Amino acid sequence: MEKFTNYQEHVDNAIKWFWDALPNLVTAILLLFVGIYVIRFINKMIRKFFAKKDYDESLESFLQSLISIALKILLFVLVITQLGVQSSSLVAIIGAAGLAIGLALQGSLANFAGGVLILLFKPFKVGDWISAQGVDGSVKEISIFTTKLKTFGNQIAIIPNGQLSNNNIINYNAEDTRRDKIDVGIGYGSNIKKAKEILLSICKDRETILKDPAPEVYVGELADSSVNLTLRFWANNPDFWAAHFFVMEEIKSRFDAEGIEIPFPQRVIHKGE
């Protein structure tokens, strides 16, 4: 009988606690759903604000991610406080959790710091073509922890910001113009001066190849089976690859037309008797 009385007492206490906590629980649930709606609305307004302003796209993406996370953390604190957790206790819990999470997520914190450094020093921005961590691509997005690159093959490469900020980066769009360097070998019996004239005439015929600085050709190496000529020319970034492929094709066509030999490895097989 005594056990039944204790059981009934526990049930009564649980029911009493439930009814006492119900208003706070309902308020916390309502606060959660309203907060999520408000956060989505704020994020939408922020996107519209940035769309009207001429800010750096990478900075816009980073700030949007940062504001969204900050708002979600604030909502979490408000909901927990509404459930009856004391603010002082919550601060202590968050502090302890922050330390534990910080130790567990050192890499993520490094990536966050790397994202901040990228936005501060701007080694690249959205739209730039870069080479980093063995990947070449156009910068599609810079977020808090990672940077997305769109490769030449239309794949998306995701690179942690910590690695980007602490390693070498080649930014091909940092300057308005870019210099190309093409090495081409000719036979030792070919006329060097004639070959150099052909290379310079190819550059002259292509309007997108800059005349200042002027293209130049020189003998780069006297190799075992060829005289290696080096052609250098400048082009604006948007015109670079078109100019490069034009020159490569024209070299073969005009050398063939003028009888300039381009040596290539050959293997002679003798049939045994």
Name the pLDDT band for 139 (thresholds 50, 70, 90).
Answer: very high
pLDDT band per the 50, 70, 90 thresholds, residue 74? confident
> Does residue 86 come out as left (phi exceeding 0), alpha (psi in the -120 to 50 range) or beta?
beta
CATH 3.40.50.300 fits 177-258, yes or no: no
Asked whether this chain's domains 128-171 and 177-258 adopt the same fold, the reply is no
Phi, psi of 133 (to 5 degrees): 55, 35
**53 vs 19, residue with greater confidence:** 53
CATH of domain 128-171: 2.30.30.60
Rg of the chain over Cα atoms, rounded to whole angstroms, equals 33
Residues 150-172 have pLDDT tens digits of: 998 999 999 998 888 888 899 99
Using the predicted structure, report yes or no on whether residue 88 has a pLDDT greater than 90: no
Of residues 73 and 241, more confidence is placed in 241
d(CA 256, CA 143): 51
pLDDT of 265 higher than 90: no
Identify the pLDDT of residue 194: 95
| Cis peptide bond upstream of 215, omega within 30 | no
Q: Which of 66-75, 138-147, 240-249 has the lowest mean pLDDT?
A: 66-75
**pTM for the full model?**
0.59
Please give the structure tokens belonging to residue 212: 């200042």
Instruction: Give the tens place of pLDDT for each residue, 94-137.
Output: 666 665 655 555 567 788 788 878 877 888 888 899 999 889 99
* Three-state secondary structure string covering the chain: CHHHHHHHHHHHHHHHHHHHHHHHHHHHHHHHHHHHHHHHHHHHHHHHHHHHCCCCHHHHHHHHHHHHHHHHHHHHHHHHHHCCCCHHHHHHHHHHHHHHHHHHCHHHHHHHHHHHHHHHHCCCCCCCEEEECCEEEEEEEECCCEEEEEECCCCEEEEEHHHHHHCCEEECCCCCEEEEEEEEEECCCCCHHHHHHHHHHHHHHCCCECCCCCCEEEEEEECCCCEEEEEEEEEEHHHHHHHHHHHHHHHHHHHHHHCCCCCCCCCCCCCCC
- Where in the chain are the domains? 5-85, 128-171, 177-258
Question: Residue range 36-49: average pLDDT?
Answer: 83
